[in-house]
Amino acid sequence: MINPIKWKFTFVLLIIGLMVAVQYNTVKSPEVRDTRDIWAIRNELATEKKLHSELLSEIRELDNTIHTYESLEDKNTGKALTETVDKLYQQAGMTDISGPGMVIKVKPSKESIAYGIPITGISPELLTRFVNDLNRFKGNVLEVDGKRFTTLSSIRDINGITAVNGLNVSNPPFEMKIITPSFSDGEKLYNYLLASSIHDDFYLDNLILEIGKPKNNIKIRGWHEKFENRFLNELPKGE
């Protein structure tokens, strides 16, 4: 029979061992501290404030729409709904649009042509990086190789070929069109793209960006694919 004193002594040692192990693990793996400098934190704070401002603008716009509906008479409700639908079609990129902007040509680099390097299509990662760089400026409309790019668009690799909205992007050379809110915004975007480090990313893939100067009239086609409605149903009249 086990001596009760030895059993209690063993139990106490077991508890002490567990406590020492927990303490050692805590000391060995301290809580990760934020080691960013003040400027990195300020940049992140500025990004969050910008996002907060954009969300407030969207909420304000929706509140204005609700106020418009509430202040309208029954006979004008249909007109207001039609205007809202037209606005949503424009935001979704379903309509043709024209305005100030620029044309950007994606071409193989001169070195790749001189050395006979095979010309391959732009990678999804590189195209996504370009779109993210472009999104630093709000209110722009983009077309990639004749394909309208919106917030609903996707950039994917399909069988080794980059596709936008499920449609293959041509091998370079091809064009990208950008429409800006105003001509002055186009000039700012033009100067930014000229100095952007995105050129280095393209050059590493044996591609170059030829940034066209801003013009007053750039035309972009709408996305004519129809949306699939799976959830909304039209109610019979009178209900």
pLDDT of residue 78: 66
Six token digits for residue 164: 């936008």
Tell me: cis bond preceding 181? Omega within 30 of 0 counts. Answer: no
The pLDDT of residue 52: 80
What's the average model confidence in pLDDT over 219-227? Answer: 73
Q: Rounded to whole angstroms, how far apart are CA atoms 216 and 221?
A: 17
Q: Of 41 and 232, which is predicted with more confidence? A: 41
Position with higher pLDDT, 83 vs 163: 163
Cβ atoms < 10 Å from Cβ of 221: 14
pLDDT band at 9 (very low <50, low <70, confident <90, very high): low
What is the chain's mean pLDDT, rounded?
A: 81
pLDDT grade for 234, boundaries at 50, 70 and 90 = low
Find all residues with CB under 8 Å of 26, minimum gap 6, and list them. Answer: none
pLDDT band at 54 (very low <50, low <70, confident <90, very high): confident
Position 72 scores a pLDDT of 63
Is the per-residue pLDDT at 174 higher than 90? yes
pLDDT in tens, 55-106: 887 788 777 777 776 676 655 666 666 777 677 767 666 778 899 999 999 9
pLDDT tier, 25 (very low <50, low <70, confident <90, very high otherwise)? low
Predicted structure pTM score? 0.64
- Give per-residue pLDDT as tens, 189-221: 999 999 999 999 999 999 999 999 999 999 998
Residue range 24-30: mean pLDDT, rounded: 58
Amino acid letter for position 10: T
- Whether the per-residue pLDDT at 115 is higher than 80: the answer is yes
Instruction: Look at residue 158 and tell me whether its pLDDT is greater than 60.
Output: yes
Give me the mean pLDDT over the 132-136 stretch: 90
Dist CA 223 CA 157 (whole Å): 20
CATH of the domain spanning 97-220: 3.30.70.1880
pLDDT (mean) for 29-36 = 59
**pLDDT (0 to 100) of residue 36:** 66
- pLDDT score, position 238: 52
Closest CA to 149 of 173, 128, 126: 128
End-to-end CA, the chain: 85
Residue 129 in contact with residue 193, Cβ under 8 Å?
A: no
User: Which helix (H) or strand (E) segment is 8 a member of?
Assistant: helix 4-28
* pLDDT over threshold 60, residue 31: no
Q: Are 185 and 137 in contact (CB under 8 A)?
A: yes
